Amino acid sequence: MIEVTQTKFAPRGDCYAACIASIFELDINRLPHLPEDDETVLAKFPIKNPEYYGVNDSRIQWWHDMWSEWFRDNNLTKLRINTEKLGQYDRQVLNTWHIIDGPSPRDPEQTYGSNGMKHAVVGRKGLIRFDPHPDRTGLLANDGYEIVIPADPAKPILEGYRSGK
């Protein structure tokens, strides 16, 4: 694991990309990022109910699709464990580098968007080991853990990233 600091901040932050770059020792600039303009996002994911949903909901949809495609293209998948379910699992499952997500300390009132501003950090054994935000303040709480694993263990992962292609 190498420590990669995020390069973009809310509302188009790349803390998750920084966590992936840290865990897999990749160049963050080669990982997916949200478009810089909302018009591109809204063209793909129009707001269904503008009175209730804002552009942030369209950004969230874009983000999920963007990372799903990247994982699929790189023979990866993620196992998510919600914090309240952790007791059902042996803690050994977290004895690897993983991502911990939760509310951002830069939005303590959770006023940013419908669910507040979220943040992601790198963990090991369920504990925060590296916060990619420059202020390194971590999370207000842990919502869950994500372990990124090969989708098909018989096939290589991240082809093209290690060789510099």
pLDDT in tens, the chain (165 residues): 999 999 999 878 999 999 999 999 999 999 999 888 877 777 777 776 655 556 777 788 888 899 999 999 999 999 998 887 776 666 677 889 999 999 999 877 766 544 567 899 999 998 999 999 999 999 998 999 999 999 999 999 998 776 454
CA pseudo-torsion sign 48, 56, 45, 43: positive
The answer to whether residues 39 and 19 touch, using CB atoms and an 8 Å cutoff, is no
pLDDT attached to residue 67: 95
pTM of the model: 0.87
Any domain includes 165 = no
Any domain includes 46 = yes
pLDDT attached to residue 53: 58
pLDDT attached to residue 54: 66
Helix residue spans in 6-159 (DSSP H): 15-24, 38-44, 55-73
Any domain includes 115 = yes
Place of tokens 């909302």: 38
Any domain includes 1 = no
Determine whether 49 is exposed, middle or buried from the number of CB atoms within 10 Å of its CB (0-12, 13-18, 19+).
Answer: exposed
**How many beta carbons lie within 10 A of that of residue 42, not counting itself?**
15
Any domain includes 83 = yes
Euclidean distance between CA atoms 141 and 138, whole angstroms = 9
Rounded to 5°, angle at Cα 9 from 102 and 58? 75
pLDDT attached to residue 165: 45
The total of structural domains in the chain comes to 1
Any domain includes 2 = no
Q: Is the peptide bond before 50 cis (omega within 30 degrees of 0)?
A: no
Which domain range does residue 142 map to? 15-150
Any domain includes 162 = no
Any domain includes 103 = yes
The answer to whether residues 100 and 20 touch, using CB atoms and an 8 Å cutoff, is no
pLDDT attached to residue 121: 98
pLDDT attached to residue 31: 95
pLDDT attached to residue 18: 98
CA 101 to chain centre: 8
